[in-house]
């Protein structure tokens, strides 16, 4: 969920090994156990939006490294049992 909205859904295995939404990937990549002790953790840039003042289209757009002008419109649902609401869903898994 991001800004009160489900942005990705699927089995735990699918979502954790092959995230499709950039927000999901950012969360997974910031898990401390995936990194060397003493090294800074990756962070998602920016801040979460105020729920009373959400941006148009995808709420993650201001923080998303894949955002384009299309993201200012309502994102489509990509996928069936494992889906993401994203104009530019990820296709590669977590390394």
pLDDT for position 95: 55
pLDDT for position 91: 87
Give one word for 16, left, alpha or beta, with left for phi > 0 and alpha for psi -120 to 50.
alpha
Name which residue leads in pLDDT, 92 or 90.
90
Summarize pLDDT for 25-71 with one digit per residue, the tens: 999 988 887 777 888 888 999 999 999 999 999 999 999 999 999 99
* Residue 10's pLDDT band (cuts 50, 70, 90): very high
pLDDT for position 94: 67
What is the percent of the chain where pLDDT is above 90?
77
CB 35 within 8 A of CB 48: no
């Amino acid at each position: 969920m991001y800004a009160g909205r489900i942005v990705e859904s699927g089995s735990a295995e699918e979502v954790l090994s092959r995230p499709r939404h950039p927000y999901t990937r950012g969360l997974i990549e910031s898990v401390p156990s995936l990194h060397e002790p003493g090294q800074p953790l990756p962070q998602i840039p920016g801040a979460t939006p105020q729920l009373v003042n959400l941006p148009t289209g995808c709420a993650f757009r201001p923080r998303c490294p894949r955002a384009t002008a299309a993201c200012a419109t309502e994102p489509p649902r990509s996928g069936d049992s494992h889906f993401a609401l994203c104009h530019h869903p990820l296709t590669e898994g977590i390394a």
